[in-house]
Chain A
Amino acid sequence: MEEIKKGGLVDVFDLKNVDVHIGEIVDEGEGEEEWEPMGPHPMPRIATLRDWDFKLLNRYKPFYAPICDMCCLCTYGKCDLTGNKKGACGIRMDAQQGRIVLLACLVGCSAHCGHGRHLLHDMIKKFGPDVPIDFGPEVDIEAPLTRLVCGIKPKTIGDYDEVFSYVEEQIVQLADALHTGQEGSYMDFESKALHMGMLDSLNKEAADIIQIACYGMPTSLPGGGPDVPLVDVGIGTIDTNKPVIIVIGHNVPPAADIGVYLTENDLEDKVELGGICCTSIDTTRVYTKAKIVSALGRQLRVLRAGIADVVVTDEQCIRADVLELCQRVQSPMIATNDKAMHGLVDRTDDDPNKIVEDLVSGRVPGVIILEPDQVGEVAVRTALQMDKKRRSLNFILSDDEFKYYVNDCILCGGCTLACPNGLHIGEANKSAATGNIKPLADLFDLCVGCGRCEQVCKKHIPIVDVMTKAAYPQLKAEKGRMRIGRGPIWDSEIREVGAPLVLGTIPGIIAPIGCGNYPNGTKDAWLIVKEFAERNYIVTLTGCMAIDCALWKDEEGKTIYEAHHGRFDAGGVLNIGSCVSNAHIHGAAIKVASIFAGRPLRGNYEEIADYILSRVGACGVAWGAMSQKAASIATGFNRLGVPAVVGPHGAKYRRAFMSRPDIKEDWKLIDATDGSEVYVEPGPQDLLVACETVEEALPMMAKLCFRPSDTDRGRSIKLTHYIDLNQKYLSTYPPDWHLFVRAASDLPIATRNELLKKLEDEQEWKIDWKKKKIVEGPIRGYNPSFNPTNLERLIRGKK
């Protein structure tokens, strides 16, 4: 063989001992369609958007509240970092907190990326890579985040291979930065966390688009959109006279296969398919006879109640002790995902008859089946047989057992000290022992369902079971309704509401998302949705909050989904879908910039985020945020310019992003029309902040919908709600309402004189009472042509 020289030509037929692999084949003329000129930042790397991050971080400076004062990650340690001391490697406490935040976002982002990649593998195997991404006539911008971040317009699910490859490489690079002896600046750790958050949002969009495309989940094709059907929610909706299958997790293919098996075998009305957490939401998007048993917060109690004849797990948000819980109530378990195998034996490709026999006989407590299409038959046949075996079993405590346990409590207080919410369980037990079970029953909804109380009980009282027994009548009556996840917001809806959203006449988008670690029960979730929907905000929900708010009803007996329409419009209450579906909320904000304002999307993240931060009054709320996924989700929202409120448990994420309204220089924007610098009001004031109670969170969310671009009419509507929510829940005017007043026309007409008087008396503003105008006082006057930006490159002409 000839020696290969640099720049020389080689005849491949002369090569020996060489394997030639052919990867992607691109036909001539079938390259990337020129759908839009490429923007400045396609597939950004770690440092690409750092300038944007630093603009955010300099205004919304990272705030740290360590949950541990030490670093324990290397053998120099433990290092005491208390008081912002340096550890042995030189890292200070603030940078260490940034590092831990990045680690949390890494875990969250990896979960969504792993989920999406897994889904892509399964779907390509089942349907091939050419499944078209076609969401019907009302959705032209099918993948706003993919277009924005990657500069790719995906046509088929196979196009997402490139997207995941990009994300996977970035995740590895970001994980590298966590190693001892790498990054040392908290600001750069946070920039990396923001990058991770953006990648996470991309993962979610990819995962949901793939499953929508392959399973025909609702879009703008017939049957989708605002008029998707309602499904049952709640433990009380499950008919335990039938065989019951409970699916848990986030990755829907195994549950979808169960639905297919039930349909093909005419068992839809003979077997109950219920779910917990996001798998349940996604199951109802493919099989509308499925029921949503509960959100994450009730997983332990649903399993312990023993209603499942078989439990099928996939990935994420599954209790680590799920197998033990299943064994306790003789429910066979089928694990279907290699990320959560729980020590079971892999029986993929085994004879279904043998697997079913082993499960039903109890020879094995559970099995692993990693091929989704093999799960349906095994799960259904096992449930049918187990139902007969388990019919006589009852895992709800008898009256005598209940009495024994509540009397056995010695009021030591150990359970209270172990409880995340510090619930006074002992006192409720004592009350039950004297015949009043209401305090104990009332704890059921306040309990986050962790079970730590039982771990410390000196008397080994099964506290979870005792609480469930006390609340059993209300559990049986727990029957809610929710719309199935509708997926993407339609382009046509954005065309209708883009202007009112940016001008402020629809006061904002409120996005309740995330887990069930609530400070005071699920009713807060309902109250948040109700309050804002009734005020004509657009409420877009995903995940556990979408489920939990459906458990409560108004005076007419309607759930929040029944009481409000499902359009992306004022007063709408939209279940977007599971956790991965909340990418469509990002997508809606991006589409406002693209469709309403005509901003280019392709590879243009910074400009779009700048637009959203200044103009789109949207606010996320993760009232029960618990997981690392919630951390990365919120961080992804933040990089895009969307603020988020968390409940008090969210303070344990260690980091917040809050501004300083009292530092004028932090609030200098540019008028892109002429390049002039303008000092503006603090809108939005924070990017991530915790509230102690829902009463405080409601006005806070209204405040975080102010944007510098609001018209005076829009601002007056937002001010009306901000002031009214403060008066309703805090019994007072907000102390900072005057900061958001630019002119008298910003004030609500009904109370304009009263508010002008307050401005004159309390803020010493000068008012021209004849003209009803503000002469002196505001941070700035109202300029309807103000074109706010944080980016100098967007200045159109110099003053």
Chain B
Amino acid sequence: MEVAFDVANVSGPEMGGIAPPEVIGSYISSARKPLLVVGSEMLRDDFFVEIAIEIGKKGIPIAATGHSIRGFVEKEYTENVHYYNLHELTNYLRDPNWKGLDGEGNYDFVIFYGIIYYYASQMLSCLKNFATEPLVRTVSIDRYYHPNARMSFTNIMPRMEEEYKDMLDKLVESIKR
């Protein structure tokens, strides 16, 4: 059994599963109204910013948290990218009456990407426990196993960085919108 990236982060009876990129991509494709939530770890390599932009170009709006917005500004991709503080954003996401980034309603599916592990884990925990009616489904496409997400990758150590990049490429490819 895979252990959480922060090994003692065992939340309870409902722990999310580990899935390959194609499965997570297909799961994202099933979303009615998905949102990509991006954090500052994305900035460690241009490749990861490009991945976010590619997902954004598939029509999935981006909430840029932390200081990740810098990556999009530098790449001059700001359409459909909105700065939010992750805590505040999660506070919105747990409310079914929130109007969303487009003013047309909340999201049914949230993709976490490039966010410091333990902060992301807590926000995923909030959504797991309190964004249930209607359900907001969550996945993480970070290099960590996230028990509080419904689905995530396995833990990927730095020496496996190229494999991780391949996984992200496959994931983007498998998102059908």
Residues in chain A within 8 A of chain B (CB atoms) = 61, 63-70, 80-84, 93-94, 411, 413, 416-418, 420, 422, 424, 426-427, 456, 519, 648-649, 651-652, 654, 656, 658, 660, 662, 685-686, 689-693, 695-696, 700, 729-732, 734-735
Contacts and interface: CB of A to CB of B under 8 A. Distances in A.
Interface-central residue, A66, A416, A735, by most chain B CB under 10 Å: A66
A648 B91 CA distance: 15
A686 B88 contact: yes
B118 A649 contact: yes
A693 B39 CA distance: 9
B69 A732 contact: yes
Contact of A66 (B85, B99, B125, B159): B125
Contacts of B4: 417
A648 B119 contact: yes
A84 B132 contact: yes
Contacts of B83: 730, 732, 734-735
Interface string B109-153: 000000111110011011011101000000000000000000000
Interface stretch (B5-13, B19-27, B28-36, B49-57): B5-13
A80 B39 contact: no
7 contacts: A63-B90, A66-B11, A70-B12, A660-B95, A691-B66, A693-B40, A730-B69
B55 to A, nearest CB: 19
A78 B73 CA distance: 48
B125 A67 contact: yes
A424 B116 CA distance: 14
Contacts of A68: 11-12
A56 to B, nearest CB: 16
A735 B82 contact: yes
Interface residues of B, number: 49
Given A66-B125, A417-B5, 6 more contacts: A64-B130, A417-B4, A691-B87, A692-B115, A732-B69, A732-B70
Nearest to B81: A732
A3 B109 CA distance: 79
A692 B39 contact: yes
Given A422-B5, A686-B88, A696 B67 contact: yes
Given A416-B157, A731-B69, A651 B119 contact: yes
In the complex, the 7 A-B pairs of residues with the closest C-beta atoms, listed nearest first: A69-B12, A692-B66, A695-B67, A648-B119, A651-B122, A65-B122, A65-B126
A81 B3 CA distance: 22
B91 A658 contact: yes
B40 A64 contact: no
A123 to B, nearest CB: 41
Contacts of B116: 519, 648, 692
A748 B74 CA distance: 26
A260 B82 CA distance: 59
B166 interface: no
B164 to A, nearest CB: 14
A731 B74 contact: yes
Given A689-B88, A692-B66, A730-B69, A67 B122 contact: yes
B129 A732 contact: no
A652 B69 contact: no
B18 to A, nearest CB: 15
A600 to B, nearest CB: 36
Interface in B84-105: 85-88, 90-92, 94-95, 98-99
Contact of A700 (B39, B85, B117, B126): B85
A660 B91 contact: yes
Contacts of B129: 64, 66, 69, 81-84, 93
Contact of A82 (B5, B12, B87, B92): B12
B160 to A, nearest CB: 10
B173 interface: no
B3 A417 contact: yes
B157 A80 contact: no
A418 B13 CA distance: 22
B174 interface: no
B66 A65 contact: no
Contact of A731 (B5, B7, B12, B70): B70
B122 A652 contact: yes
B88 A456 contact: no
A96 B142 CA distance: 30
Contacts of A81: 12, 129
A460 B11 CA distance: 28
B106 interface: no
Contacts of B66: 691-693, 695-696
Contacts of A691: 66, 85, 87
Nearest to B117: A422
Contacts of A685: 88
Nearest to A61: B91
Nearest to A727: B73
Contacts of A519: 116
A456 B7 contact: yes
A480 B105 CA distance: 53
B67 A729 contact: yes
Contacts of A422: 5-6, 117
Contacts of A731: 69-70, 73-74
Contacts of B90: 63, 65
Contact of A696 (B82, B85, B126): B85
B159 to A, nearest CB: 7
A63 B87 contact: yes
B14 interface: yes
Given A693-B40, A732-B69, A417 B11 contact: no
Contacts of A94: 130
Nearest to A413: B157
B58 to A, nearest CB: 23
A67 B40 CA distance: 22
A649 B117 CA distance: 10
Contact of B119 (A61, A426, A686, A692): A692
A651 B123 contact: yes
B11 A67 contact: yes
Nearest to A71: B12
A696 B125 contact: no
A732 B5 CA distance: 33
B14 to A, nearest CB: 5
Chain B CB count within 10 A is highest, among A61, A696, A734, A735, for A696
A427 B65 CA distance: 28
B165 to A, nearest CB: 17
Contacts of B159: 411, 427
Contacts of A420: 6, 118
A93 to B, nearest CB: 5
A80 B13 contact: yes
Contacts of B40: 692-693, 695-696
A81 B86 CA distance: 24
Contacts of A649: 118-119
The CB with the most chain A CB atoms within 10 A, among B4, B74, B155, is that of: B155
Given A84-B129, A731-B73, A63 B67 contact: no
A658 B99 contact: no
A456 B39 CA distance: 29
B62 to A, nearest CB: 13
Contacts of B128: 69, 82-83
A77 B55 CA distance: 43
Given A69-B13, A693-B67, A84 B119 contact: no
Contact of B87 (A411, A651, A695, A735): A651
Contacts of A735: 82-83
B94 to A, nearest CB: 8
Nearest to B119: A648
Nearest to A733: B83
A420 B83 CA distance: 27
A101 to B, nearest CB: 14
Q: Which of B39, B91, B117, B155 has the most CB of A within 10 A?
A: B91
Contacts of A416: 157
A205 B7 CA distance: 39
A66 B12 CA distance: 10
B125 A63 contact: no
